[in-house]
Amino acid sequence: MPLRIAFFVLVLTALAVGQKKNKDEITQVLDLPKDPPVVVSGDVRKLVFHVSPLSTAGLLSQQTREAVKALLKMNGGVPIIHVRAFVAGNGDIRRVPQIISDYLTEKRQPLPSISVIRAGGLSRENAQVVLESVSLAKKDVNATALEFAYSGAVTSPDPLVATRPLLDKALDQLAGKAAAAGTLQVTCFVSTLGDATGLLTAMSTRFPGAAANLVMGQRGPAQGLAACQSVRRGSGAPGGRLAFTGTRVAFGQQEKDAALAFQRLDRDLAESGANPGNVVSTNIYALSSSMAELSSRLRKATGALAVIPSEGVAAVEAGFAVDAVAALEQ
């Protein structure tokens, strides 16, 4: 009897060892998701600009994936080097860069720098995300340099004022700084979206052929507002590269917090080979009027400086976020 028991113990032990070995053999170590790069640059001559169509189907993750899919179809599958995402609703905007990165990795595409901002609303009800992309075409598409312009904010003390007159004036001011001819993209920020279709029509009428995006910055704006920015082909030679940064967040609402965010942004640019003195466009996404005033006072940027009222950024207790475009050193 003891010998038979010992035999069965040996058999069971061998089986257990075999099972453990087999489990170890099929265990796989999955790669961690890749984080998007802080800065990505591209040859000015090859840069193209698109705005994703709005979708109302599914949750934020599905709409984000569909938006990236649409952008790749629109640009012919060429690499996307920068994405600016505006997210409406209550979805976690911190997930958006990872969703974009995961999808592009699945498609064996390089990862872009990503800016993500929570908006008060988009131009279609139940749409949760819209993506603006900068892509790198296979052939030269810009025979001249690119120019970035900002209309400045057109405001009214009444937050419920009709938006169309404000938008018309903002478009006038934008056209005065950057002619409609050769404009590649126009983005306008408004305080209300009561007539989104009419507002988009006004934009496309003034800047025909440009990719257009309309965003309500905040759900409960303190004032009526319209402001627009554009990218267009200018008159100079197109040589060189432009560096696009993702958003840097000011973690806090004190002056030292704002200064630190700008220092980090400048360090990002310097490490990419861009001189902070060669910035051609800066966007500050301010969560309050006090942070808008503070950040614009501290940031003595060259080029177009846009201060955009925003509902939120990808951090709790933040005061604002900032991103930039800068020319690389030749």
**Window from 89-93, 112-116, 161-165, 282-286 with minimum mean pLDDT:** 89-93
- Residue 2 pLDDT greater than 60, yes or no: no
pLDDT at residue number 277 = 87
pLDDT digits (tens, 9 = 90+) for 16-70: 444 444 444 444 444 555 789 999 999 999 999 999 999 999 999 999 999 999 9
At 6 the pLDDT is 41
Average pLDDT, the chain: 90
pLDDT number for residue 275: 86
For residues 113, 119, 125, 126, the Cα torsion angle rounded to the nearest 10 degrees is: 60
In order of their start, the domains of the chain are 32-141 (3.30.1330.40), 146-235 (3.30.1330.40), 247-330 (3.30.1330.40)
Indicate if the pLDDT at residue 191 is higher than 80: yes
What count of Cα atoms within 13 Å lies in the side-chain half-sphere of residue 153?
Answer: 20
- At 231, which helix (H) or strand (E)? strand 224-233
Rounded Cα–Cα distance for residues 14 and 187 (Å): 68
How many whole angstroms separate alpha carbon 38 and alpha carbon 19? 45
What is the per-residue pLDDT for 64?
Answer: 98
**Amino acid at the residue 322:** V
Answer yes or no: is pLDDT of 329 > 90: no
The total of other beta-carbon atoms located within 10 Å of residue 224's CB is 20
Nearest to 207 by CA among 188, 235, 224, 226: 188
* pTM summary value: 0.89
pLDDT in tens, 251-301: 999 999 999 999 999 999 999 999 888 999 999 999 999 999 999 999 977
Contact 156, 94 (CB under 8 A): no
Res 16: pLDDT: 46
**pLDDT-derived band of residue 316, with 50, 70 and 90 as boundaries?**
confident
